[in-house]
Every structure is written in structure tokens, then in C-alpha cells.
């Protein structure tokens, strides 16, 4: 399998008037196409910061993030925003759905951003198809307050995949769910990997996700340490 994402020599420091915090201390990581990689470790280790840098949300002080052969931080802001929209999907602990939009409208929003030639019929057909894939074919017209937490997270996953993104970055995707619903989300993510060869990088405290991943990497004090699997 080809390497789809490389992280090389990543450092990140946050500063304020009182102190300086060196969060990431020279991170090197490569992820292959179709791989499931979990990043585990204590709170404050820098896991979410690393995920945000891999996704183009927060620039490193030093180092490179290479996605499909392209250094995303060598791009201008507008170009990097396009990469985020078309090649990277994000799933967070909190779903970040727009309350006034239906499940279908939330899912197709990235399509509308990507293609200004708005084709309502085409977008809706694609949105319905992916909502059916995540088990929500009967909930497309429901708004977030009419959905359970697990259903909202499924909508968020569908939204992250609608542009056929190469890499799905998940930050504690089961952290806001009860154990049974969390297992459903884990099973869905693994199904997407098995059926679509979807590349997944998951920051998690959930041992079940770590056990099901192709690789589970421990992070502590801003460094990647042991490969658990």
C-alpha cells in the first residue's frame, strides 16, 4: 500500500505572556492508504494538536505534512482550505451540525462549498446515498434536535465523507456517546474501512478502537513512543 500521509519533524509551541508550552516535539509518522491508525495517550499529550496539524487546521512551527505527495503547509491559505474540503474529512467528539439544517442539508454542505455550480438534485442524490450507507436513510429530513447522539455522529461521518475524502481524521468520535452507541460508531468506521478502504486516523481513549486498528500508537509528552499494535 502506498503512503498517503507523512508527518515529518513536526514541532508546535503555544506561547502567551506568562509561559511557553512545547506541545509537539519532533513528530514523525506515516500512514498508508486504507490503514486504520489510532493514537492513544493521556490528556495533554498533544494528540488533538497533532490531528489538527495533519488536517491543515493549525500550522506547525517546524516540519512538514505531506498528503498525496503535496506539502499542505507550502500552500497558500485558500489552496490549503480546498485540500481540507476535498481530501480530508473531520469527525469530532461534538458533532458540530447546523441546528437549522436537516441531516441531508448538513451532509451536502461540503459539496456546496466545493462546487459553486449548485446542482440540487445531484447533491441530494449523493447525500441520500451516503446517509443510507451510514444507516440513516429514514432520517434524512430530521434536524439535529430530532436525532440521538449516535445518529448525529453518523450524520457527521457522512458529511466528512461526502466529498470522497482520502483521509478521515477522528478526534474522540465515541467520547460523547454511551458505550453501546459508541460500539455502533466503531463498527461503522471499521465497516467503512473494510468496504471502501477508507484511511482512518483516530485519536481516542477507547480501548476497543485501539484494538481494532491496524496500528495503535502511544503518545506522551509531545512525542510518539510505543507502537502497541
pLDDT at 141: 95
Cβ atoms of 6 and 200 within 8 Å: the answer is no
pLDDT at residue 207, as a whole number: 83
CA distance 34 to 109: 25
**Residue range 107-117: mean pLDDT, rounded:** 80
pLDDT at 118 over 70: no
Segments making up each domain of the chain, as ranges: 3-227
- The mean pLDDT of 22-49, rounded to a whole number, is 92
The confidence score (pLDDT) of residue 227 equals 56
**How far apart (Å, rounded) are the C-alpha atoms in residues 24 and 42?**
14
How many beta carbons lie within 10 A of that of residue 58, not counting itself? 15
pLDDT digits (tens, 9 = 90+) for 123-142: 899 999 999 999 999 999 99
pLDDT at 164: 87
Instruction: Determine the 3-state secondary structure of 147 from DSSP.
Output: coil
* pLDDT beyond 80 at 96: yes
Segment 174-197, tens digit of pLDDT? 888 898 999 999 999 999 999 989
Report the C-alpha gap between 108 and 127 in whole angstroms.
Answer: 6
Measured CA to CA, the distance from residue 130 to residue 196 in angstroms comes to: 12
pLDDT band for position 43 (cuts 50, 70, 90): confident
| Model pLDDT for residues 146-175, shown as the tens digit of each residue | 999 999 999 999 999 998 889 999 999 988
pLDDT in the model for residue 226 = 60
pLDDT band per the 50, 70, 90 thresholds, residue 85: confident
With a pLDDT cut of 70, the percent of the chain lying above it is 97
Which class would CATH give 3-227?
alpha beta
User: Any bridge partners for residue 27, and if so which?
Assistant: 10
Tell me what pLDDT residue 67 has: 95
Q: Is 80 left (phi over 0), alpha (psi -120 to 50) or beta?
A: alpha
pLDDT tens digits along 199-228: 999 999 888 888 899 999 999 889 998 654
Amino acid at each position: 500500500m502506498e503512503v498517503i500521509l507523512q508527518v515529518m519533524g513536526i514541532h508546535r509551541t503555544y506561547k502567551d505572556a506568562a509561559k511557553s508550552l512545547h506541545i509537539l516535539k519532533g513528530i514523525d509518522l506515516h500512514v498508508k492508504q486504507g490503514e486504520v491508525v489510532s493514537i492513544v495517550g493521556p490528556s495533554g499529550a498533544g494528540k488533538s494538536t497533532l490531528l489538527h496539524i495533519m488536517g491543515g487546521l493549525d500550522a506547525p512551527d517546524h516540519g512538514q505534512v505531506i498528503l498525496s505527495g503535496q506539502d499542505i503547509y507550502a500552500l497558500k491559505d485558500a489552496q490549503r482550505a480546498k485540500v481540507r474540503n476535498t481530501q480530508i474529512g473531520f469527525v469530532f467528539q461534538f458533532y458540530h451540525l447546523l441546528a437549522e439544517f436537516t441531516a441531508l442539508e448538513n451532509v451536502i454542505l461540503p459539496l456546496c462549498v466545493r462546487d459553486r455550480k449548485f446542482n440540487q438534485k445531484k447533491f441530494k442524490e449523493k447525500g441520500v446515498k451516503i446517509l443510507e450507507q451510514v444507516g440513516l436513510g429514514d432520517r434524512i429530513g430530521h434536524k439535529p434536535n430530532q436525532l440521538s447522539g449516535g445518529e448525529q455522529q453518523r450524520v457527521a461521518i457522512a458529511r466528512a465523507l461526502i466529498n470522497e475524502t482520502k483521509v478521515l481524521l477522528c478526534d474522540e468520535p465515541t467520547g460523547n456517546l454511551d458505550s453501546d452507541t459508541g460500539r455502533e460508531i466503531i463498527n461503522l468506521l471499521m465497516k467503512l474501512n473494510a468496504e471502501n478502504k477508507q484511511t482512518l486516523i483516530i485519536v481516542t481513549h477507547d480501548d476497543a478502537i485501539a484494538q481494532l486498528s491496524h496500528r495503535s500508537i502511544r503518545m506522551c509528552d509531545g512525542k510518539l513512543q510505543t507502537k502497541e499494535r
